[in-house]
DNA sequence: CGCGATATTGATATAGATCAACTAATGTGG
DNA sequence: CCACATTAGTTGATCTATATCAATATCGCG
């Protein structure tokens, strides 16, 4: 099931098998994208939505001075431009970070799905609002936390999101193929400062980084530093009746 | 029509009169709220959504150190917790800034509306994604712009949003009942620095502030300082056929 | 009129940026 | 598989925007 990761952590229990199959069947094609490639530009008309199957992607906005700010990054299972369905065009660019595998669903198909299964429509709506909730949390992080807090928040959130799509191994390791530059663009910091901040977190035994993987050694302490309260990911709702 | 301001700037042309009337009829009651009152707490179950009719409201998150970060502020016409409909609970607090007049629509009614008029459902979905688009723009603003840019961005956006709901007078004045403290909480700055930054903008002839009103004297120059590109408000779509 | 909230201004401190090397890793073509 | 090129990471020195602290001025309201 290409949509399995998407449905994890997104109230899948609320869907009937018929709805799940209809969603899966809406996928039109799968494609492999190279790393570091901008796939959509701000302002472009969007006629299909992209489900990320493997790899990391991001959405960003350019500043006049040549720097850019990530507004969201995406892990497998994210429907990264589903908001383009109601919005019809995007207000930001979309790019791969690593090589990525994606699946496309045309907007026409989504319209059919939503009209036939209003309930599934509400789940898709919910999925786009998860992104909005993450945006809010980022505003908080970038607006109110210092460098240590922002990076701690980033790691806490990423671990939680990877766990939700079953991409944590039994030692707690997860892929983190971002450069320190990328991290800086996400957190509103320079790569130099990211470097120093990461070292502090490593020296304090908070995190471990090796190759392009990372793990958090003290989940609670890191969450405290990053003021990370995971309710905004709406994960526990998985276990609640509708 | 209580929903008139809401529909302005939200692709109202895509709605039939029947749909507009159904939306208007869904409003259950109107209430007046005092200034500076928190109306909803993070984590609370939401069973109705709030349409702001007059006044300013905001959504915010508290940091451990006692400071708070606004994640969004709302002008009349905003459906400020419509995202609570798919999400079922909120991940932030909601408060009035000024005295405010609000109208409520229960979630049950929204479900009825959406199932009867899928098209109206898509418009409501669109409305929640406008907030997400504003969130992204704020991440950009707070993450990449300096104090002058952030305040300039804030004023540019506010003017544009007030204009969209017809709350600019013919001299360009609009209500701006925020304290410098509020502005700081929105932009991730201290009130002291907001004060100095506002003075720079005033001294440069960019903005004028009097009483609890403001106007922008040089719209283009201010937009340049704030790197404000209004496409993310999706206003011009008003004039486009669906 | 007087009091609390808000705005203003100045002096000083500091987190993070900037600039500038240098080192380590990763990748690539022969 | 090595040699070299490129990219990413590391470290130090200095600079600057903004925070912090503190005092005063002004506004709006009962």
Which chain B residues touch A142 with a CB distance below 8 Å? 139, 142-143, 188
Pairing mode of beta strands A29-33, B57-62:
unpaired
B42·A69 Cβ contact <8 A:
no
- Burial (CB < 10 A; 0-12, 13-18, 19+), residue B76, is buried
Which chain A residues touch B83 with a CB distance below 8 Å? 129, 132-133
Asked if residue B237 has pLDDT above 70, the reply is no
| Residue B148 touches partner A, C-beta closer than 8 Å | no
Asked if residue B57 has pLDDT above 70, the reply is yes
pLDDT number for residue A140: 97
**CA–CA distance, A107 with B21 (Å, rounded to integer):** 28
Mutate to test the interface with B, among A136, A148, A154, A189 (most CBs of B within 10 A): A136
**CA–CA distance, B242 with B239 (Å, rounded to integer):** 9
Which chain A residues touch B133 with a CB distance below 8 Å? 83, 87, 91
| Residue B72 touches partner A, C-beta closer than 8 Å | yes
Protein-to-nucleotide distance from the CA of A147 to the C1' of C22, whole angstroms: 25
Phi-psi region of A76 (alpha: psi -120 to 50; beta: other; left: phi over 0): beta
| Residue A150 touches partner B, C-beta closer than 8 Å | no
**Among A168-172, B4-8, B155-159, the range of highest mean pLDDT:** B155-159
**CA–CA distance, B97 with B35 (Å, rounded to integer):** 5
**CA–CA distance, B34 with B22 (Å, rounded to integer):** 29
Backbone angles phi, psi at A187, to 5 degrees: -95, 0
Asked if residue B239 has pLDDT above 60, the reply is no
| Nearest-CA distance A223 → chain B (Å) | 12
A139·B71 Cβ contact <8 A:
yes
The residue among A204, A203, A202, A181 whose CA lies nearest residue A192 is A181
Nucleotide nearest B190, CA–C1', reads D19
Protein-to-nucleotide distance from the CA of B28 to the C1' of C6, whole angstroms: 38
The residue among B107, B220, B46, B71 whose CA lies nearest residue A132 is B71
Residues 195-234 of chain B whose Cβ lies under 8 A from any Cβ of chain A: 227, 231-232, 234
Per-residue pLDDT of chain A (242 residues; tens, 9 = 90+): 888 899 987 877 778 889 999 999 999 999 999 999 999 999 999 999 999 999 999 999 999 888 899 999 999 999 999 999 999 999 999 999 999 999 999 999 999 999 899 889 999 999 999 999 999 999 999 999 999 999 999 999 999 999 999 999 999 999 999 999 999 999 999 999 999 999 999 999 999 998 789 999 999 999 999 999 999 999 876 544 43
pLDDT number for residue B238: 55
Report helix, strand or coil for A59: strand
pLDDT number for residue A240: 47
- Cite residues whose beta carbon is less than 7 Å from strand C: A 146-148, 188-190, 192-193, 211-212; B 179-181, 191-192, 195-196, 198-199
The residue among B211, B224, B219 whose CA lies nearest residue B172 is B219
Asked if residue B241 has pLDDT above 80, the reply is no
Query: Where does chain B have alpha helices with state H?
Result: 4-7, 17-25, 84-87, 107-116, 118-144, 147-164, 180-187, 191-203, 219-225
Mean pLDDT of B166-186: 94
Select the residue of B67, B115, B140 nearest A69 (Cβ to Cβ).
B140
Specify the pTM. Answer: 0.94
pLDDT number for residue A238: 56
B144·A63 Cβ contact <8 A:
yes
The residue among A215, A225, A62 whose CA lies nearest residue B144 is A62
Protein-to-nucleotide distance from the CA of B78 to the C1' of C5, whole angstroms: 29
Query: Where does B26-67 have alpha helices with state H?
Result: none
Cβ contacts of A179 within 8 Å, gap of 6 or more: A191
| Residue B94 touches partner A, C-beta closer than 8 Å | no
CA dihedral sign, ordered A183, B232, B57, B110 = negative
Tell me the pLDDT of chain B averaged across its residues: 92
Instruction: Sheet containing B48-54: give its strands across.
Output: B29-33, B100-106, B48-54
| Nearest-CA distance A31 → chain B (Å) | 27
More confident residue, B103 or B15: B103
pLDDT number for residue A119: 87
């Amino acid at each position: 099931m290409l949509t399995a990761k998407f449905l994890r952590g997104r109230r899948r229990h609320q869907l009937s098998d018929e709805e799940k199959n209809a969603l899966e069947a809406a996928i039109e094609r799968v494609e492999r994208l190279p790393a570091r490639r901008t796939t959509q530009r701000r302002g472009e008309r969007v006629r299909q939505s992209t489900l990320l199957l493997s790899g990391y992607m991001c959405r960003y906005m350019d500043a006049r001075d040549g720097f850019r700010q990530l507004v969201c990054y995406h892990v497998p299972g994210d429907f990264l431009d589903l908001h383009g369905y109601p919005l019809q065009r995007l207000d930001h660019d979309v790019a791969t970070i690593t090589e990525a595998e994606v699946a496309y669903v045309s907007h026409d198909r989504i319209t059919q799905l939503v009209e036939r299964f209003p309930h599934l429509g509400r789940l898709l709506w919910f999925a786009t609002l998860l992104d909005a909730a993450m945006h809010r949390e980022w505003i908080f992080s970038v607006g109110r936390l210092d460098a240590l807090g922002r990076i701690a928040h980033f790691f806490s959130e990423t671990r939680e999101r990877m766990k939700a799509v079953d991409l944590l191994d039994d030692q707690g390791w997860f892929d983190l193929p971002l450069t320190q530059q990328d991290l800086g663009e996400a957190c509103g910091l320079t790569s130099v400062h990211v470097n120093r901040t990461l070292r502090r977190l490593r020296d304090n035994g908070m995190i471990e980084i090796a190759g392009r993987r990372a793990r958090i050694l003290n989940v609670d302490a890191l969450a405290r530093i990053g003021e990370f309260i995971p309710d905004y990911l709406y994960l526990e709702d998985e276990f609640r009746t509708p």
